[in-house]
Chain A
Amino acid sequence: MADYKTVFGGLNDFTPGGVDAIDDNPKNYVFSNVFDVASRSAPYERVAVGKNLEYVMEAIRAEGQSPWYACAHDEFALCMDGEVEIHLVKPDDADSPVDPDSEGATVLDEAPDGRKMGRIVLRRGHQALLPGGAAYRFEAGAPSVILTQTIAGPATVERWAEICHSESLSAN
């Protein structure tokens, strides 16, 4: 008997399911696929694939070097495909580069002045803390996929009608 094979999918290898609406509107389920979204995104667009009031999950196509980001609160990055390097810096000015009361990630115009905190290399399935008050930058040698846990902010992109299924499986 064959061994069990675990299917994780990837940027070039995904087969979405969908909603078979019996007595329902398929849009109610806000159904999308992280790899599908990343495959159609520009590098480092932070596209919301989940939203629960102020909180979001973002799908990111990691490719090349990202801008520097800063965020007042903790965020998390889960690598769902490929390999992603994260550089972390503690800004010298605690109240800069973002308002400590702000929410979500902000794109910085330039690299922040501060102390180097560390470097992390994530591969598929690895999850990193992006600590609140730090600045960070992603880097990926080949197209990769990140899912974030964060709060909607200036860098979050919402385009639900483009990414979500609007028809029932039974209609196809």
Chain B
Amino acid sequence: MTEALQTHYKINPASNETGYKSYEAGSFTFKRDEYFISISWPKGAHTMAADAFMRAMMRTVAWGFFYGTLSYDPVFGTTNHYGIVDMFAGTYHPVFKENGRDHLEKFKAEDLLELFRDLVDDWTNEGYDPFAAPGENDAGQPWGRKNGNNADAVTRIRVTANRMVGLPGDAEIRTDRNGYPQNRMFADVSSDQPLVEIEPGFEDEVAAFNLYDYLSRSDVTWNPSVCSVVKESLFCPTSEEFILPVEHGNDRCEWFVQLSDEITWEVKDKETGKPRSRIVMRAGDVACMPADIRHQGYSPKRSMLLVWENASPRIPDMILSGEAPVVAVQF
């Protein structure tokens, strides 16, 4: 592990052969060809399929490194320390660790994010949408030599309501008119709206919206968006289809409410990656991911998942000091 903050960032010119740029951050290098991404560091190298890497990198950028650890696969990933980010290879893989082949460097989050934004833009070809599930008609293909880009897809802004979606001046509801048709797998979801009768003077306080219709119109998968806020308690519902592109390693307890359909979660030990549990969640189910695990979800049909976060920046330190629990509730 290198404790010093890395300051080396470099974007290399496009390859004459593939048309893709290559990238350097600290001593990590990133290159892509028609099918694969190659990551190298001083003590090793790693290869990933371009589709899996791009879906994971898209979330990394969209979520701003999110909470805790984003493992692209058992070898490579990032850990968010909120302002500072670890980028690692093999750090949470027992065999890499045992053989001294692991590597970790620290970066200023915003600087690394800027490099990754450029990478996502350059490595996303025309028509390919790394936010889409592979079965969607407009998902496109990630393969091949450099062929245009898809800036509209990769620069989507993650919705973050200040109070609640639909309130005056807050995040807008989604409709056909503003470019959000229902997804093919949610065509049977009712678009009726709640009855809201407001007395004069209370227009900013009496409000309701159809959350299920809102989610049925999401044009992205695995992208939790803040829809309602109670201080640091954030309801972040999301629509899910296919596989969560990362194994998410928790630095706090994270709750799930399955609003529709079914997701299966593979849960592993955060440090070693050893299997711990397999969780099946169906409509109405509630479960908490403890702070010492990593999890990855599988959603065979597009489903609605309510992700509930406590966004307090103090929690990781509270857990380390024992002030906050690793398991949310003891019974």
Chain A residues with CB under 8 Å of chain B are 3-9, 14-24, 26-36, 49-53, 55, 57, 73-76, 78, 80, 88, 90, 115-129, 131, 134, 147, 149-151, 160-161, 164, 166, 169
Residues of B within 8 A of A129 (CB): 163-164, 167, 205-208, 228
Asked whether A4 and B283 contact (CB < 8 A) given A24-B277, A88-B206, A129-B163, the answer is no
CB distance from A98 to the nearest CB of B (A): 15
Asked whether A151 and B233 contact (CB < 8 A) given A9-B283, A34-B257, A125-B211, the answer is yes
| CB-contact partner of A53 in B289, B308, B312, under 8 A | B312
Query: CB distance A7 to B198 under 8 Å?
Result: no
Cβ of B61 under 8 Å from chain A: no
Q: Given A17-B262, A57-B286, list of 16 further CB < 8 A pairs?
A: A4-B302, A6-B260, A7-B262, A8-B212, A8-B259, A19-B287, A24-B267, A29-B287, A29-B289, A34-B284, A35-B284, A52-B233, A52-B310, A76-B164, A127-B208, A149-B233
Residues of B within 8 A of A80 (CB): 259, 284
Asked whether A32 and B280 contact (CB < 8 A) given A76-B235, A128-B194, the answer is no
B2-10, B28-36, B70-78, B179-187 - the one binding chain A: B179-187
Query: CB distance A128 to B286 under 8 Å?
Result: no
Query: CB distance A125 to B212 under 8 Å?
Result: yes
Residue in B closest to A48 when the chains form the complex, CB atoms:
B329
Residues of A within 8 A of B17 (CB): none
> For the complex, what is the distance from the CA of A164 to the CA of B286, rounded to whole Å?
9
> For the complex, what is the distance from the CA of A27 to the CA of B233, rounded to whole Å?
23
> For the complex, what is the distance from the CA of A128 to the CA of B312, rounded to whole Å?
24
Asked whether A16 and B253 contact (CB < 8 A) given A55-B310, A150-B230, the answer is no
> For the complex, what is the distance from the CA of A23 to the CA of B309, rounded to whole Å?
26
Residues of B within 8 A of A74 (CB): 163, 229-230
Asked whether A17 and B277 contact (CB < 8 A) given A7-B261, A29-B290, the answer is no
> For the complex, what is the distance from the CA of A16 to the CA of B229, rounded to whole Å?
28
| CB-contact partner of A49 in B192, B198, B286, B290, under 8 A | B286
> For the complex, what is the distance from the CA of A81 to the CA of B262, rounded to whole Å?
17
> For the complex, what is the distance from the CA of A159 to the CA of B227, rounded to whole Å?
28
Query: CB distance B197 to A120 under 8 Å?
Result: yes
Residue in A closest to B207 when the chains form the complex, CB atoms:
A129
> For the complex, what is the distance from the CA of A46 to the CA of B328, rounded to whole Å?
19
Cβ of B11 under 8 Å from chain A: no
Contact flags B290-331 to A (C-beta < 8 A → 1, else 0):
100000000001100000111010010000000010011111
CB distance from A143 to the nearest CB of B (A): 14
> For the complex, what is the distance from the CA of A35 to the CA of B257, rounded to whole Å?
12
Residues of A within 8 A of B211 (CB): 78, 125-127
Query: CB distance A73 to B209 under 8 Å?
Result: no
Residues of B within 8 A of A53 (CB): 310, 312, 315, 324
> Which 7 A-B pairs have CB atoms at the shortest separation, nearest pair first?
A125-B212, A17-B280, A9-B283, A160-B331, A118-B206, A128-B208, A121-B195
Within 8 A of A (CB), among B180-225: 184-190, 192-199, 202, 205-213, 216
Query: CB distance A122 to B259 under 8 Å?
Result: no
Query: CB distance A131 to B205 under 8 Å?
Result: yes
> For the complex, what is the distance from the CA of A125 to the CA of B171, rounded to whole Å?
18
Cβ of B232 under 8 Å from chain A: yes
Residues of A within 8 A of B252 (CB): 52
Query: CB distance B199 to A115 under 8 Å?
Result: yes
| CB-contact partner of B285 in A16, A26, A52, under 8 A | A16
Cβ of B50 under 8 Å from chain A: no
Residues of A within 8 A of B257 (CB): 34, 50, 57, 147
Within 8 A of A (CB), among B264-292: 267, 274-290
Cβ of B231 under 8 Å from chain A: yes
Query: CB distance B283 to A76 under 8 Å?
Result: no
The listed residue with most A CB atoms (<10 A of its CB), out of B260, B277, B286, B329, is B286
Query: CB distance B202 to A33 under 8 Å?
Result: no
Query: CB distance A21 to B276 under 8 Å?
Result: yes
CB distance from A142 to the nearest CB of B (A): 17
Asked whether A3 and B230 contact (CB < 8 A) given A29-B290, A51-B329, A57-B308, the answer is no
Cβ of B255 under 8 Å from chain A: yes
Query: CB distance B208 to A36 under 8 Å?
Result: no
Asked whether A17 and B282 contact (CB < 8 A) given A73-B231, A121-B195, the answer is yes
> For the complex, what is the distance from the CA of A164 to the CA of B163, rounded to whole Å?
31
Asked whether A73 and B278 contact (CB < 8 A) given A8-B260, A90-B202, A126-B211, the answer is no
